[in-house]
Chains A and B, each alone.
Chain A
Amino acid sequence: MISSRNRRTIWLLKGGLIVASFVLFITTVLLYVSQAQQGALLTATVRSSGWVAYQARLELLKTEAAFARTSVIPTEDGLRTLSMRLEILRSRLPLLYNSDEGRLLRGVLDIQPQVQDYEIKVDRVLDEVETLDPEDGNTVRRLQELQTTLEPLGQLLHSTLMQSVAYNQELFRREKELAQTPGVVPLVLLFISGAALALLLFLQARGDRLRLDQLMEAQSALGAMEENLRAVIQSVPACMLVIDPADDTVTFFNSSAAAFISTSADDPGWQRLVRGARDAARAVNGNQWGYLSMAYTRPDGEVVSLRGSFCEVLWQQRPQLLLVLVDTTRVRNAELQVMQAAKLATLGEMATAIAHELNQPLAVIKMAVANAKRLLEPLTGGEPVAVKLDRISAQVDRAKRITDQVRRYGRMPTEQQQLFSLRNAVEMAMGFVTEQFRSADIRLSIQAEVPPELAVFGEQTMFEQVIVNLLVNAHDAFESGPANRARAVRVTVRSEDDRARVEVQDNAGGIAPEILARLFEPFATTKPTEKGTGLGLSLARSVVRDMGGSIVGENIENGARFVISLPTSIAFVSRDAA
Chain B
Amino acid sequence: MSQLRTILICDDEEELAHELGEFFEGNGWKVDVCVTGMAAIEKLRKGLAPHVLITDLRISDFDGAQVVSVARELPPEMRPLMTIIITGHVMDTARAVDFMCDYLYVKPIDPDVLLANIGEFLAHRTFPAAGRS
- Which A residues are within 8 Å of any B CB, using their own CB? 352, 356-357, 359-360, 362-368, 370-371, 374-375, 396-397, 400, 407-408, 411, 414, 416, 461
Task: Check B19–A364 contact: CB distance below 8 A.
Answer: yes
- Answer yes or no: B112 CB below 8 A from chain A CBs: yes
In the complex, what distance in Å separates the CA atom of A396 from the CA atom of B26? 21
Task: Check A360–B13 contact: CB distance below 8 A.
Answer: yes
Give me 30 A-to-B residue pairs in the complex whose CB atoms sit less than 8 angstroms apart, sorted by A's number: A356-B88, A356-B89, A356-B90, A357-B88, A359-B88, A359-B108, A360-B16, A362-B107, A362-B108, A363-B13, A363-B88, A363-B107, A363-B109, A364-B19, A367-B16, A367-B19, A367-B22, A368-B15, A370-B19, A370-B112, A371-B22, A371-B23, A374-B23, A374-B26, A374-B27, A396-B108, A400-B108, A407-B90, A407-B92, A416-B93
- Answer yes or no: B120 CB below 8 A from chain A CBs: no
For the complex of A and B, list the 8 residue pairs with the smallest distance between their C-beta atoms, beginning with the closest: A367-B19, A363-B108, A363-B107, A359-B88, A366-B108, A362-B108, A370-B111, A359-B107
- A374 nearest CB neighbor, chain B only: B26
Least Cβ–Cβ distance between A394 and chain B, in angstroms: 11
Task: Check A365–B90 contact: CB distance below 8 A.
Answer: no
The A-contacting residues of B in range 1-57, CB under 8 angstroms, are: 13, 15-16, 19-20, 22-23, 26-27
Residues of the B chain whose Cβ atoms lie less than 8 Å from the Cβ of A360: 13, 16, 88, 107
In the complex, what distance in Å separates the CA atom of A411 from the CA atom of B106? 16
Residues of the B chain whose Cβ atoms lie less than 8 Å from the Cβ of A416: 93
Residues of the B chain whose Cβ atoms lie less than 8 Å from the Cβ of A371: 19, 22-23, 26
Residues of the B chain whose Cβ atoms lie less than 8 Å from the Cβ of A461: 92
Task: Check A352–B90 contact: CB distance below 8 A.
Answer: yes
In the complex, what distance in Å separates the CA atom of A364 from the CA atom of B109? 9
- A370 touching B23 in the complex, CB below 8 Å, given contacts A407-B90, A408-B92, A461-B92: yes
Residues of the A chain whose Cβ atoms lie less than 8 Å from the Cβ of B23: 367, 370-371, 374
- Interface 0/1 of B103-115, CB less than 8 Å to A: 0001111111000
The total of interchain contacts (Cβ-Cβ below 8 angstroms) comes to 65
- Which B residues are within 8 Å of any A CB, using their own CB? 13, 15-16, 19-20, 22-23, 26-27, 86, 88-90, 92-93, 106-112
Task: Check B16–A363 contact: CB distance below 8 A.
Answer: yes
Kindly list 5 other residue pairs between chains A and B, CB separation below 8 angstroms, not including A359-B106, A407-B92.
A357-B88, A364-B16, A364-B19, A367-B111, A411-B92
- B22 nearest CB neighbor, chain A only: A371
Least Cβ–Cβ distance between A368 and chain B, in angstroms: 5
In the complex, what distance in Å separates the CA atom of A359 from the CA atom of B23? 19
Residues of the B chain whose Cβ atoms lie less than 8 Å from the Cβ of A363: 13, 16, 86, 88, 107-109
- A360 nearest CB neighbor, chain B only: B88
In the complex, what distance in Å separates the CA atom of A364 from the CA atom of B86? 13
Task: Check A367–B92 contact: CB distance below 8 A.
Answer: no
- B89 nearest CB neighbor, chain A only: A356
In the complex, what distance in Å separates the CA atom of A366 from the CA atom of B27? 16
In the complex, what distance in Å separates the CA atom of A411 from the CA atom of B89? 11
Residues of the B chain whose Cβ atoms lie less than 8 Å from the Cβ of A362: 107-108
Residues of the A chain whose Cβ atoms lie less than 8 Å from the Cβ of B27: 374
In the complex, what distance in Å separates the CA atom of A292 from the CA atom of B25? 78
Task: Check B92–A364 contact: CB distance below 8 A.
Answer: no
Least Cβ–Cβ distance between A306 and chain B, in angstroms: 46
Task: Check B88–A366 contact: CB distance below 8 A.
Answer: no
Task: Check A411–B90 contact: CB distance below 8 A.
Answer: yes
- A375 nearest CB neighbor, chain B only: B26
Residues of the B chain whose Cβ atoms lie less than 8 Å from the Cβ of A370: 19, 23, 111-112
- A366 touching B89 in the complex, CB below 8 Å, given contacts A371-B19, A371-B26, A374-B26: no
Q: Which of B15, B86, B107, B110: most chain A Cβ within 10 A? A: B107
- A371 nearest CB neighbor, chain B only: B22
Residues of the A chain whose Cβ atoms lie less than 8 Å from the Cβ of B26: 371, 374-375
In the complex, what distance in Å separates the CA atom of A461 from the CA atom of B27? 38
In the complex, what distance in Å separates the CA atom of A414 from the CA atom of B92? 10
In the complex, what distance in Å separates the CA atom of A245 from the CA atom of B55? 83
Least Cβ–Cβ distance between A76 and chain B, in angstroms: 180
In the complex, what distance in Å separates the CA atom of A359 from the CA atom of B105? 12
- A404 nearest CB neighbor, chain B only: B106
Task: Check A414–B108 contact: CB distance below 8 A.
Answer: no
Least Cβ–Cβ distance between B33 and chain A, in angstroms: 12
In the complex, what distance in Å separates the CA atom of A407 from the CA atom of B13? 21
Residues of the A chain whose Cβ atoms lie less than 8 Å from the Cβ of B93: 414, 416
